[in-house]
Amino acid sequence: MTNPVGKPKLIITQEQIDEVERLAGAGCTKKEIAHAIGLGYSTFFTKAVEYPELQEAFDCGRAKGTATASTNLMELVEAKYFPAIKFYLINRAEDRWSENPSLKRGEGTEDQAELLGQRMRKAFESARIIEGEVGPDE
């Protein structure tokens, strides 16, 4: 029996579910994804309850996007790309690294920046010696 009044029942397609995963992996918000697949924001949430695979696609897409970004970041770290190393340390070792060390330790910015620069130069020089690029006295 069909409903004689109101809109026809909205059915979520596999194509929409696949698009949710793709867009979530690209970092889109649920609101952006809802509009991209032709749904209102509140309808997206309603349909996610009715179609659990919609939420699963969103979660899976986010996880894949994070994994891709993490892999790319680690490739840059391994290539000794300083901004990537700095980003990684600030976000993964925040108890020991900071964008602005003086804010954490309450000391002068110039002294902390110089100390950080010395530590980084020492670390890179040690890495070059270990890898055999230069001798210890060069």
Alpha carbon 99 to chain centroid distance?
Answer: 18
8 A C-beta contact, residue 87 and residue 73: yes
The whole-number pLDDT of residue 136 equals 52
Contact call for residues 28 and 37 (beta carbons, < 8 A): no
How much is the pLDDT for 124? 73
Identify the pLDDT of residue 114.
Answer: 74
What is the structure's pLDDT at 110? Answer: 59
Domain definitions of the chain by residue range: 1-69
Q: What is the pLDDT along the chain (138 residues), one digit of tens a residue?
A: 555 677 778 899 999 999 999 999 999 999 999 999 999 999 999 999 999 999 999 999 999 999 999 999 999 999 988 888 888 888 887 777 776 655 554 455 556 667 777 777 777 777 665 555 555 555
Q: Report CA torsion sign: 55, 58, 64, 66.
A: negative
Whole-prediction pTM: 0.62
